[in-house]
Structure 1
Amino acid sequence: MDPLTDILTGMRIRQAQFTRLDASAPWGLNSGGESGVKFVLVVRGSAILTSASHPEPIALQGGDVFMMFDDEAYQMHDHESSLTMACVEVEKLRVGNRIALGGGGAATSFVSGLFQIDALQARPLLDALPRLLHLKLDQHRSLAFQSVLELLAVETEGPGLGSDAVVSRLFELLFVHAIRAYSSHPDAPTRGWLAAIGDRHLALAVKAMHGDPARDWTVESLAQEAGMSRSAFAARFRAVVGQTPLDYLTHWRVYCATRLMQQRNASLADVAQRVGYESAAAFNRVFKRETGLTPGAFRKAAEQESAAV
């Protein structure tokens, strides 16, 4: 199993919201930052985007998509001289899932979405992604990715029966295809597990670890999976991933353990064995070193957080 599939399996989108926004020049809006994954698809027209991490204006054209993965504030407008309206004020213009604003000039239409994902489940993914991901129309896209974008535009233009459920599923597909597009993008990271799965040798070792984290892996056995010598594999893995192979394995085992501990019927002893630790003491020691919490304290905190949602 490849790491992306492993991470996405079981990860579900919650509290999905979408808006069809029709803006006419002059217009502008600013968001103080909302928690969750945010995306905007420019259906037609153009806009300018700025954010705290990208103060230089980013030109958006019809077909472009941008996604944000934290609560960073951002601004969008038709021209840098246009006044911006706070999103809380823009919301007052909402009629159903549509909002219209602006001065009646050149038109720009967007589909914007906001959804929540389990931060724990998605942590390896969020750690590998930039705070702001901009995917231009003129960059290579798969037919499937483009089809999802077109379906979103159509579904929000003329909602039908079950539209909210359809759009929520399309959000999930958009999320996956955006990550795929980013992983093959020229600006994709050159370090980390996303970079490793783009390396034909290292990908074999990473997939092996993800497929069987409980196995008693050694650098030698992982090098065999990669079809490389031990020394060449160890050096290449550290250069690309930024960790030694066994450090990465430990990190992945602890992540797998956190997912298993969200299942109320899994005992801590069972979790320890399923991620490769023969003794609870060894598992407790490694888990606390990696997370700062004992497994028991972590599970209690996770249960409290789940009950509060």
Structure 2
Amino acid sequence: MDPLTDILAGLRIRSANFTRMDASAPWGVTSPGAPGLNFVLLVRGSAILTTPGGPQPIALRSGDVFFKLDDTPYRLYDHEDSTLIDCADVEKLRVGNHIQIGGGGALSTFVSGWFELDALQARPLLRVLPSLLHLKLDQHRSLAFQSVLEMLALETESPGMGSEAVLSRLFELLFVHSIRAYSLQPGGPTHGWLGAIADRHLARALQAMHGNPAEDWTVESLARMAGMSRSGFAARFKTIVGQAPLEYLTQWRMYCATRLLQRGDVALSEVSRQVGYESVAAFNRVFRRETAMTPGAFRKRR
């Protein structure tokens, strides 16, 4: 199993909601930012997106989508001279899941969504993604990705029975396909484990660690998996991933442990064994060092 599949398999969206907004020129919206993951799909029309500290305004065209992965404020408008309305005031215009704003000119339609991911489960992924993902219509869109966007647009335009469940699944698919597209585009990930996947040597070592975290891996054995010398592998891994190989392995083992502990039906000794620790005491020490709590306290809190 490749690392991206391994991490995505443990992610579950919760508290998802969506808005369909028709904005007729002139129009503009300003948002102070909010926790959670936000995305905006431009179904038709055009728009300009700006963020504080952003290098330059981003021109959006029909079919573009962007993800905002932190609480950075942003502005969205049709023209730089348009009056901006605070999103709190925009919300007052909501009728169900639909909002209309603007002065009656050229129309732009958006589908926006907001959802939460479990902070611990999402941490390995959010660490290697930029705070803003902008994916243009013509950038590495697979047929499957485009189909998800079209289904999302249709479902928000004409919701049917079970629409909330359908949209939650579509949000998950949209997130996965967006990460795929980002990974393939020029200037995509070059650092972190997501960047290492693109390195044919390091990818072998990553797949080995993810596929069998309980194995007694050493830098030497991982270097052999990568087909490299020990020193060359260690240096290359540290440069691209940003961590030493065994440091990364320890964090991945603790991530796997949190997933097992959340199940509630796996004995602590079995959790320890499955992530590579013969001694429960040794596992407890490492888990506490990495998460600032004992496995028992983590399980109880969850």
Q: TM-score range by the shorter chain?
A: over 0.9
Post-superposition offset of 1:49: 1.0
Post-superposition offset of 1:147: 1.3
Q: Aligned partners of 1:252, 1:173: CA distance in 2, in Å? A: 24
Report the counterpart of residue 306 of structure 1 in structure 2.
none
Q: Aligned partners of 1:168, 1:282: CA distance in 2, in Å? A: 39
Q: Does 1:9 align with 2:9?
A: yes
Q: Aligned partners of 1:240, 1:55: CA distance in 2, in Å? A: 25
Report the counterpart of residue 40 of structure 2 in structure 1.
40
Post-superposition offset of 1:70: 1.8
Report the counterpart of residue 182 of structure 1 in structure 2.
182
**Larger deviation: 191-200 or 156-165?**
156-165
Report the counterpart of residue 260 of structure 1 in structure 2.
260
Report the counterpart of residue 244 of structure 1 in structure 2.
244
Residue 272 of structure 2 contacts residue 279 of structure 2 at CA under 8 Å; is this kept in 1?
yes
Q: Does 1:93 align with 2:93?
A: yes
Q: Alpha-carbon deviations, 1:159-188, whole Å to 9, x = none?
A: 233322222211111000001111112222
Where in structure 2 are the equivalents of 1:205-244 lying within 5 Å? 205-244=205-244
Unmatched 5+ residue regions in structure 1? 304-309
Q: Alpha-carbon deviations, 1:132-161, whole Å to 9, x = none?
A: 111111322111111111111122222233
CA RMSD of aligned residues (A): 1.6
Change (3 A) 1:53 1:295: farther
Provide the secondary structure at the position in 2 that maps to 1:195.
helix
Change (3 A) 1:55 1:98: farther
Residue 139 of structure 2 contacts residue 181 of structure 2 at CA under 8 Å; is this kept in 1?
no
Report the counterpart of residue 142 of structure 1 in structure 2.
142
Provide the secondary structure at the position in 2 that maps to 1:93.
coil
Q: Aligned partners of 2:234, 2:168: CA distance in 1, in Å? A: 42
Q: Aligned partners of 1:53, 1:169: CA distance in 2, in Å? A: 33
Length-normalised TM-score, structure 1: 0.93
Q: In the alignment, residue 209 of structure 1 is paired with which amino acid?
A: M
Unmatched 5+ residue regions in structure 2? none
Report the counterpart of residue 109 of structure 1 in structure 2.
109
Report the counterpart of residue 171 of structure 2 in structure 1.
171
Q: In the alignment, residue 47 of structure 1 is paired with which amino acid?
A: A
Q: Aligned partners of 2:177, 2:207: CA distance in 1, in Å? A: 20
Residue 14 of structure 2 contacts residue 116 of structure 2 at CA under 8 Å; is this kept in 1?
yes
Q: Aligned partners of 2:164, 2:215: CA distance in 1, in Å? A: 43
Post-superposition offset of 1:96: 2.0
Q: Alpha-carbon deviations, 1:72-117, whole Å to 9, x = none?
A: 2211111122111121221121122211110001111111111111
Report the counterpart of residue 61 of structure 1 in structure 2.
61
Report the counterpart of residue 307 of structure 1 in structure 2.
none
**Larger deviation: 108-117 or 230-239?**
230-239
Post-superposition offset of 1:45: 1.0
Post-superposition offset of 1:299: 3.2
Post-superposition offset of 1:55: 6.3
Post-superposition offset of 1:28: 1.0
Provide the secondary structure at the position in 1 that maps to 2:141.
coil
Q: Displaced runs of 4+ in structure 1, greater than 6 A?
A: none
Provide the secondary structure at the position in 1 that maps to 2:60.
strand
Q: Alpha-carbon deviations, 1:226-248, whole Å to 9, x = none?
A: 22232322222222212121111
Length-normalised TM-score, structure 2: 0.95
Provide the secondary structure at the position in 1 that maps to 2:112.
strand
Q: Aligned partners of 1:121, 1:295: CA distance in 2, in Å? A: 16
The total of aligned residue pairs comes to 302
Report the counterpart of residue 196 of structure 2 in structure 1.
196
Q: Aligned partners of 2:238, 2:33: CA distance in 1, in Å? A: 36
Q: Aligned partners of 1:54, 1:129: CA distance in 2, in Å? A: 16
Q: Aligned partners of 2:238, 2:153: CA distance in 1, in Å? A: 43
Post-superposition offset of 1:56: 2.9
Post-superposition offset of 1:53: 4.5
Q: Aligned partners of 1:221, 1:62: CA distance in 2, in Å? A: 49
Q: In the alignment, residue 259 of structure 2 is paired with which amino acid?
A: R
Change (3 A) 1:55 1:81: farther
**Larger deviation: 96-105 or 229-238?**
229-238
Residue 140 of structure 2 contacts residue 184 of structure 2 at CA under 8 Å; is this kept in 1?
no
Post-superposition offset of 1:7: 0.9
Q: In the alignment, residue 231 of structure 2 is paired with which amino acid?
A: S
Q: Aligned partners of 1:61, 1:160: CA distance in 2, in Å? A: 28
